Amino acid sequence: MNVFGVDIGGSGIKGAPVDLERGDLAQERHKVLTPHPATPDAVADGVAEVVRHFEWSGPVGITFPGVVTDGVTRTAANVDKGWIDRDAAKLLSDRLGGAPVTLLNDADAAGVAEMTFGAGRGRKGTVMLLTLGTGIGSAVFIDGRLVPNTELGHLELHGREAEKHASTKAKEDEDLSWPHWSRRLEKYLAHVEMLFSPELFIIGGGVSRKAEKFIPHLEGIRAEVVPAQLQNNAGIVGAAMASSSDSRR
């Protein structure tokens, strides 16, 4: 069974049909650049372009980089502030010709995919997925159950938001070496570990493809730290899973 998933990120909007039996993309994903400013209308146009690329008709699951409750986007840290308190599910559905849209937090979507098909499969206790990219997204699971919209990238670290200090964007903007950036990431993980005592950290986002460059440097973390197995496709897969779940209700 194929379902369509779209992942809205700070730098790109990517999507593809997903084979939910395998937990993998059914076709190679299509990506467009996230518009700047990332206003609701401009981003909706980008989502429509991705969906049209596959000539898809039917339900679509979509992730959003912020808090989402009942299809309404409540925060907008890395996109235009026009998203705050917007009925984004309706906006996106209208832009997709009335197709049913399921909208959820991007890290939550990636986490659900990893817990079902990837590095968190079968794991009990407290598991945390952290997506490192333009910001830091988080998904928290307790015995496999999601605690939604945690947004732990906005914890304060050294007097500023953690994602401004330890995200992949911070590494790129400040031209940090892998060891230097790894020390920043380790301090962030240690802070989160102090608060939640997880058994497992799963590191997602595009940087997960280069896990060997930073995970060996995270020596001060008690929890196990592993890269996401679905890597940067986890959000697309999780979005499709959410859409499928909604369509069965």
Q: pLDDT tens, 175-208?
A: 999 999 999 999 999 999 999 999 999 999 999 9
Domains annotated on the chain, with CATH: 2-106+233-247 (3.30.420.40), 121-228 (3.30.420.40)
pTM greater than 0.85:
yes
Backbone angles phi and psi of 92, in degrees to 5: -70, -40
pLDDT in tens, 19-67: 999 999 999 999 999 999 999 999 999 999 999 999 999 999 999 999 9
| Mean pLDDT taken over the chain | 96
Count CB neighbours of 178 within 10 A: 16
Judge whether residue 247 has pLDDT over 70.
Answer: no
What is the pLDDT averaged over residues 115-136? 97
Reference 236, options 45, 36, 40, 54; nearest CA is 54
Quote the CA–CA distance of 35 and 57 in Å, as a whole number. Answer: 24
In a 3-state reduction of DSSP, which class is residue 239?
helix
